[in-house]
Amino acid sequence: MSAGACRYELRAQDGDARVGVLHTTRASVPTPAFMPVGTQASVKALTPEEIAATGSRLILANTYHLMLRPGAELIAELGGVQRFMSWPHALLTDSGGFQVFSLSKLREIDDDGVTFRSHLDGSPQRLTPERAMRVQALLGSDIAMVLDECPPGGAPRAEVEAAVKRSTAWAERCLVAPRAEGQACFGIVQGGVLPELRRAHLETLAALDFDGLALGGFSVGEPSERMYELLADLGPRMPGERPRYLMGVGKPVDLLRAVGAGIDLFDCVLPTRNARNGQALSWGGRVNIKQARHRRDESPLDARCGCPVCQGYSRAYLHHLYRAGEILAARLLSQHNLSFYAALMAAAREAIEAGRYADFARQAEAEMAGGDEVGGVTA
């Protein structure tokens, strides 16, 4: 592994679920942990101090968006992304690949990289493994992700195989590219929903000198149960001495199932995006604060939650804020949702250490499904 890069310390295990600490140059992060997504060096609606107050010590920023605006060179000139956004804790940058590959009508891929047009102004852009790593080096994140090709959900086998082959070649190029001092590099396992391809790609990347490994290409249209089956198969096969990261998956039940498979790190826009749409996540399932049932409800969003929102504001007030279009609604619901995710991960760690994770996860999932206001909790 890289000199001065991150290090994983295993503290406890219960079945495949595990508790550890991810040590980076800027922070020690208890795992399993959820990373709030700060796409443009900002977790929408919240200040860095508010994010830290939820318990988060590791967040994600997006390479694609920051390289286009304001530019990685400018951020480097201003001291790196953490100084730029006043976040003193750990930060992971994705490679930008997922955003580029989602621009299906604006990009062309070849074995060297991807040519695409900016979604901002249509200007031509080129992203190669070397440029993805150079941008992340300029940003100065604690953890950089390799450039990979994420095939769309339901892609034919030949297309998935080609993406795996290209992702392997790009991963090898990323691994030897220059990095910022102390910056770790994680590889990304692809393979769609084909278990033999997933296992083979995992084995290939595990043999390389990555500081951690991630599972990419999930939650892109496959049935949830299929994802759970693959996670249960792949999680325990991932190197035990390195951190394990599941990219872009973030429903509470998904996190519970993935923790049970031995995954350590998660990220997703879901808690903050849902907050902006009037949806709170809680131990009792999703709360749709838009609904009229909350108009006179003086109870908190979640009686089990100790966050400042649940301690200080009623559902009636939050309902009013949202219906009135007040920005404060998005801020308070986002703060609560991230606090809930942090509490969910903390409770998972406690259950693993006590040797009762399976019972904890089963009960939590049942309670969330039973009180859900939006439909089945996995919908």
Active site annotation includes 267:
yes
**Residue 112 designated active-site:** no
Q: Using an 8 Å Cβ cutoff, are 316 and 294 in contact?
A: yes
Q: How far apart are CA 53 and CA 196, in angstroms?
A: 42
Buried b / exposed e along 269-278 (16+ C-beta atoms within 10 A): bbbbebbbeb
Strands 212-215 and 244-246: parallel
- The DSSP bridge partners found for residue 13 are 18
Question: Rounded to an integer, what distance in angstroms lies between the CA atom of residue 316 and that of residue 117?
Answer: 45
- From the list 14, 94, 254, 264, the catalytic residue is 94
Residue (of 167, 136, 132) closest to 149 by Cα position: 167
As a three-state string, the secondary structure of 99-160 is HHHHCCCCEEECCCCEEEECCCCCCEEEECHHHHHHHHHHHCCCEEECCCCCCCCCCCHHHH
According to DSSP, residue 295 is labeled: T
Query: What whole-number distance in Å separates Cα of residue 300 and Cα of residue 314?
Result: 5
Catalytic residue among 14, 148, 267, 372: 267
Question: How many C-beta atoms surround the C-beta of residue 139 within 10 A?
Answer: 25
Copy the structure tokens of residue 270: 């879901």
Of 23, 17, 32, 27, the C-alpha closest to 249 is 32
Q: What is the DSSP string of 331-350?
A: HHHHHHHHHHHHHHHHHHHH
Active site residues per annotation: 94, 267
